[in-house]
Amino acid sequence: MDIEIQLATEEQKKQKPADSELVFGKIFTDYLFEVKYENERWGTPKIVPYHPFILDPATTVLHYAQEIFEGMKAFRHPDGSIHLFRPYKNAERFNRSAERMSMPTVNKDLFVKAITELVKLENEWVPNSPGMTLYIRPTMIATEVALGVHPSDKYLYYIILSPVGPYFKTGFTPTKVYVASTHIRAAPGGTGEAKTGGNYSPTLWSQQKAKALGYPQVLWLDAVERKYVEEAGAMNIMFVIDGEIYTPPLDGTILRGITRASVIELAEDLGYVIHEEPISITDLIDKILDGSCNEIFCVGTAASITPLGEIFYKGESYLVNDCEVGKITQHLYDELVGIQFGKIPDRFNWMYKVQ
Ligand code: PLP
Ligand code: COI
């Protein structure tokens, strides 16, 4: 499928920030990709100068949150080439989210081609500095103008790009989480596994509470028993207990993280034993206190691999490994980030060259 390209004028182009000024998701590039869906089919895909959308105040997405998105990154390699990380995995997850949210799916090849063409056009926006990337945000919104609660008959699928620094200001140093004990993120049968905006807004209350206590992220427990650890606000979680790695299973309420799946494959390849099993917060705390759990880390596209140095649960805080980065966390980080930035050969065939 051909993508129409409308070039920006010099006046429409923005000043590019220095890599050293980059934070997460505040600046957007000169172009976006867009394609509309109506009469049960997708229209002409286009790359056009970045622009605001004009939406009728009664547009469905604004009222009932029929929306899905993805999060991906483009990495610059030492030879200057640009690579995506497993983009077909994001295409598959996007379509799973679309099905859950009663939205149309997108052809997977078009999903990847649209990103490739957009990133190619915006190649100068891909940062060169260590750890800096171009974040990619494919998004679909329901655009029918109607207040009745029903699946929209019109959609807009678009992709925007943002040059980014680390998700946490502190970068690869241990962060701290606040365990939500009164509120939940996702219940069985709900939308926890879908990447939909409506999973995030209900978490803001706990996030504010966490922030006020000095914790940048919330760690969620299962909705039924408030017992088992699920995931953090924007990342999956892994624990090292007696030298083996544990991560909560994909039970329908947590996001099927692509970094999670990749770290599992990587860890196995490196000879670590990895278990996908439920772990209760009280067991975890016991194991932190007796020293058998001496590393915890979070994994996700925006956050990469982020070590976790402190957990706050029901009024008490617990330090993990004296808030130092653990050996296994460091090993997995070096390998994953090494592959993503082209410093280590990609033995898994994960990287997809933009050309
Ligand atoms: N969990 C949640 C709630 C997320 O928003 C994300 C980010 O995408 C993840 C986990 C990690 O998923 P991935 O590794 O695919 O980015
Ligand atoms: C990502 O890691 O890409 C995410 O989507 C997390 C986001 C909610 C910041």
Backbone φ, ψ for residue 229 (5° rounding): -75, 135
Same-domain pairing of 190 and 135: no
* Same domain as 148, residue 8: yes
Whether 117 is covered by a domain: the verdict is: yes
Q: What is the mean pLDDT of residues 158-186?
A: 92
Q: Ligand 1 atom 11: the closest Cα is on which residue?
A: 300
What whole-number distance in Å separates Cα of residue 305 and Cα of residue 328? 11
Q: Indicate the pLDDT class of residue 269, thresholds 50, 70 and 90.
A: very high
Residues listed for the chain = 355
CA of 72 relative to ligand 2 center, distance in Å: 8
**pLDDT average, residue stretch 207-236:** 96
Indicate whether residue 301 lines ligand 2 (CB < 6 A).
yes
Assess whether the C-beta atom of 179 lies below 6 angstroms from ligand 1: no
Ligand 1, residue 236: give the atom nearest the CA: 10
- Residue 149 confidence (pLDDT): 98
Task: Provide mean pLDDT across the span 4-13.
Answer: 95
> Looking at residue 172, what is its pLDDT?
86
Classify residue 314 as left (phi > 0), alpha (psi -120 to 50) or beta: left
For the domain that residue 318 is a member of, what is the CATH number? 3.20.10.10
In this structure, are 153 and 16 located in the same domain?
yes
Query: For a substitution probing ligand 1, which of 235, 262, 266 has the most ligand atoms within 8 Å of its CB?
Result: 235
Could you tell me if the CB of 234 is within 6 A of ligand 2? Answer: yes
* pLDDT in the model for residue 186: 97
283 plus 181 within the same structural domain: yes
Domain end marker among 164, 185, 211: 164
Residue 169 reports pLDDT greater than 80: no
Mean pLDDT of 41-62: 98
In three-state secondary structure terms, 299 is strand
Residue nearest ligand 1's atom 12 by CA: 257
Ligand 2 contact via 305 beta carbon (within 6 Å): no
pLDDT attached to residue 166: 83
Instruction: Give bridge partners of residue 133 from the DSSP assignment.
Output: 164
Question: Mutation test of ligand 1: which of 84, 177, 207, 259 has the most ligand atoms closer than 8 Å to its C-beta?
Answer: 259
* Position 267 in a domain: yes
Which of 164, 185, 220 is where one domain is finished?
164
Same domain assignment for residues 130 and 216 = no
By CB atoms closer than 10 A (0-12, 13-18, 19+), residue 122 is buried
* 188 and 84 both lie in a single domain: no
In angstroms, what CA-CA distances link 101 with 15, 95, 98, 151? Answer: 37, 10, 5, 8
In the structure encoding, which two tokens stand for residue 257, read together? Answer: 């993280």
Q: What is the pLDDT of residue 168?
A: 82
Q: Are residues 185 and 272 in the same domain?
A: yes
Residue 237: which domain range? 175-340
Q: Is 217 in the pocket of ligand 1 (CB under 6 A)?
A: no
Nearest atom (ligand 1) to Cα of 89? 15
| pLDDT attached to residue 137 | 98
Task: Give the rounded distance of the alpha carbon of 4 from its chain centre.
Answer: 28
Asked if 190 and 155 sit in the same domain, the reply is no
Q: What percent of the chain has pLDDT over 90?
A: 95
| Residue 128 falls in which region: left (phi positive, over 0), alpha (psi -120 to 50) or beta | alpha
Domain boundary, last residue among 164, 197, 225? 164
Residue 350 lies in a domain: no
More confident residue, 306 or 168: 306
Q: Are residues 182 and 320 both part of a single domain?
A: yes
**Mean of per-residue pLDDT scores for the chain:** 96
What spacing in Å lies between the alpha carbon of 58 and ligand 1's midpoint?
A: 30
Q: Is residue 84 part of a domain?
A: yes
Closest ligand to 220 CA? Answer: 1
Question: Could you report the per-residue pLDDT of 241-252, keeping only the tens digit for each?
Answer: 999 999 999 999
Per-residue pLDDT tens over the stretch 65-87: 999 999 999 999 999 999 999 99
Per-residue pLDDT of 217-229, as tens digits, reads 999 999 999 999 9
- Is residue 86 included in any domain, yes or no? yes
Q: Domain count of the chain? A: 2
113 in the same domain as 23 = yes
Q: Give the residue-averaged pLDDT of 313-333.
A: 96
Is residue 231 assigned to a domain? yes
Q: What is the pTM of this model?
A: 0.97
Tell whether the model's pLDDT for residue 280 goes beyond 80: yes
Alpha helices in the chain (DSSP H): 60-64, 87-100, 108-121, 204-212, 258-269, 281-289, 327-340
Residues 328 and 244 in one domain: yes
Tell me what pLDDT residue 234 has.
93
Nearest to 45 by CA among 56, 29, 54, 32: 32
Asked if residue 300 has its Cβ within 6 Å of ligand 2, the reply is yes
What would the pLDDT profile of 91-141 be if each residue is shown by its tens digit? Answer: 999 999 999 999 999 999 999 999 999 999 999 999 999 889 999 999 999
Let me know if residue 91 belongs to a domain: yes
Do 220 and 92 reside in the same domain of the chain?
Answer: no
Within-domain flag for 353 = no
Say which CATH number the domain at 122 has: 3.30.470.10
The rounded percent of the chain whose pLDDT value lies above 70 is 100
